[in-house]
Amino acid sequence: MVDVTGKAVTRRSAQAQARVLLPPAVRAAFADGEIRTPKGPVFQTAIIAGTMAAKRTHELIPFCHPIGLDSCRIEIALDAGGDVLVTCITRVEHRTGVEMEALTGASVAALTIYDMCKALSHDIVIAEVRLITKTGGKSDFAAARPGPDAGAPR
C-alpha cells in the first residue's frame, strides 16, 4: 500500500462509466418500460450493488486504501440504441483518490445487470468500463474522448 500520510487532505471526486450491450431478446423484454426480471427490479438492484461495491473496494482490490466515501451516486439509463450506461460518481475528502471506487461501483452495477438478465440471454456484453473524470490530489483528469454516447448522465 502506498504511504499517503504526507499528502494533504483534499476534496476528491471521480466518475466512471460502464456500457452494457443488450441483445434483442433483453431489449424486447424491456419494451414496455418495466425493467424487471423474476429476480426483481434490475436497475434499482444494480444501483444498490454498485454502491455496496464502491464502499468495499479496498476488500476487492489489493493495496487500495479503505475510504469512507462521502458520496456515491450511481445513475443508470438506456441510450438511444437501447444499451445501458452505468455511471458511478464518488466523492471524498481524503489523502487518496476515489477512482478505483468509481470504477468498482460501475463495474459491479454492470455485472448485476448481467446477472439479473442472463435468464433472458447470455449474449449480454459488458463492453467498456472507463474513468471519465477525476478531480483533487496531484492532478485532475478528463477522458480524451467523450464515449460512444456523449449525452449520457454525467
Domain ranges of the chain: 13-135
What pLDDT, on a 0 to 100 scale, did the predictor assign at position 34? Answer: 73
- pLDDT tens for 24-57 read 989 888 777 678 888 999 999 999 999 999 999 9
Count of alpha carbons within 13 angstroms of residue 19, beta-carbon side: 17
- pLDDT tens for 4-33 read 888 888 899 999 999 999 999 898 887 776
CATH superfamily of 13-135: Molybdopterin cofactor biosynthesis C (MoaC) domain (3.30.70.640)
Going by C-alpha positions, the residue among 55, 56, 32, 36 that lies closest to residue 44 is: 36
Q: Which residues pair with 57 in a beta bridge?
A: none
CA 40, 115, 72: angle at the middle one, nearest 5?
80
Strands 84-94 and 36-37: unpaired
Phi, psi of 74, rounded to the nearest 5 degrees:
-120, 130
User: pTM here?
Assistant: 0.90
- Which residues belong to the active site? 115
Task: Tell me the C-alpha distance between 71 and 26, whole Å.
Answer: 31
Cβ–Cβ < 8 Å for 105, 74: yes
Counts of helices then strands in the chain (DSSP H, E): 4, 7
What pLDDT, on a 0 to 100 scale, did the predictor assign at position 153? Answer: 43
Q: At what angle do helices 42-55 and 99-117 cross, to 10 degrees?
A: 150
